[in-house]
Structure 1
């Protein structure tokens, strides 16, 4: 499986797409997609001849986005990543705690078996 990057008729990035290989293990990439990953632009535009992306957001679009972020209506990408990281860290801590509890239970069961099952 590979990831490609879709663009619209104006060559503006729309979304990433996962592509599965066909029965011959070949990847068929749609015409409006590229394997070249866009940088983290606000409005990325693809240039097929040069196989590169450029920023196409106007100053007004950039300022409007900054105002939305400052007003709290739109979280910044960094804030979104921080929130995702915090959630994943909490899930990891919970999983580690459960694994430690299971390891302790298994150790207790082995001890009971070693003592001849008297603790049951």
Structure 2
């Protein structure tokens, strides 16, 4: 038995398969749309695809697709919200005190 890697019509990796069948000479019969060339583990691909002419795997995922897999930003924590609110209120208080000083000096 040998390991082969099946790919679809767009040459994107579908799954690894085990090949058991042999021809009369003892050679393994590799099914169509398969290769015995393993996709690289490091660096791993988001969407591995096989270049039949070059006999090598390449990254077929677009940057947009890769970015879509990244986790969404978490909403700010309660502490972060309180810090922002405190900074905003401190700024407002400073401005009010400054305005009072200007009014008192007139």
- Is this a same-fold pair by TM over 0.5? yes
- Greater C-alpha radius of gyration: 2
Q: Which has the higher helix share?
A: 1
| Runs of 4+ deviating beyond 3 Å | none
> Which of the numbers 35, 47, 61 marks the counterpart of 1:57?
61
- Match in the other structure for 1:100: none
Give aligned pairs, total.
70
- Match in the other structure for 2:30: 29
RMSD: 2.1
List gaps (5 residues or longer) in structure 2: 75-106
List gaps (5 residues or longer) in structure 1: 72-120
* 1:46-102 per-position Cα deviation (integer Å, ceiling 9, x unaligned): 11111011101111111111227x88xxxxxxxxxxxxxxxxxxxxxxxxxxxxxxx
CA distance in 2, matches of 1:67, 1:56: 21
